Amino acid sequence: MRRIETARLDLRPLGPDDLALMHRMWNDPLVGRYLCDGEPVSTETAGAWLDRSARDFSERGLGLFGVRLRGESKLIGFCGFLPVEALGEQEIMYGLSPEWWGRGLATEAAEGCLRFAFEEAGLGRVLAGADEPNTASLQVIKRLGMKYVGKILRGAPEVPYFALTREEFDRRRKRDGSLVAGPCVIGHPARWVCA
């Protein structure tokens, strides 16, 4: 099973057992404000997202991870990738329950996922988009070192998109060090440990 560990977090692929918790989180008014344009997420839609993520892991090696504090079983959020079919690229997505906001955990989870995408899955570039009023997500994108590439999706012409290449990620890590303490090492082919 694919698994990413960072200094404080344990990320494992979301599965059917996570449906009720993810459905509840995606419908939290604070979390859902920018998800699906603030519209309620049905159980069927949440289940379809989890099914799609499982398919993406199977076919592409990437999908959505559930985020937990290391050593804990409670799911506190999600982070991972959805394909942007129109562009043939992957977009990083993330979200945490509001009680975990403001602690740098979204940035830590996203950096762990980026390492996995570049070093394990072999991606050359990752995209991120966020509605302009979503300043918290835009701050995460900035901390990750992603660069503005424009409003590039026809289906969401008002959403600014950012990108990070593998080379930029490697240069930033060499120059600034990691946002997560210590280097990532591989424990076995599908387990990255950042400690």
Q: Are 113 and 179 in contact (CB under 8 A)?
A: no
pLDDT at residue 187, as a whole number:
35
Q: pLDDT tens for residues 174-187?
A: 887 655 433 343 33
Q: What is the pLDDT of residue 36?
A: 73
Reported as a single tens digit per residue, the pLDDT across 95-108 is 999 999 999 999 99
pTM score: 0.87
**Angle of CA points 63, 42, 130, to nearest 5°:** 50
Parallel, antiparallel or unpaired: strands 64-69 and 9-13 = antiparallel
Can you list the residues of the chain whose pLDDT is less than 50? 180-195
Domains of the chain: 3-183 (3.40.630.30)
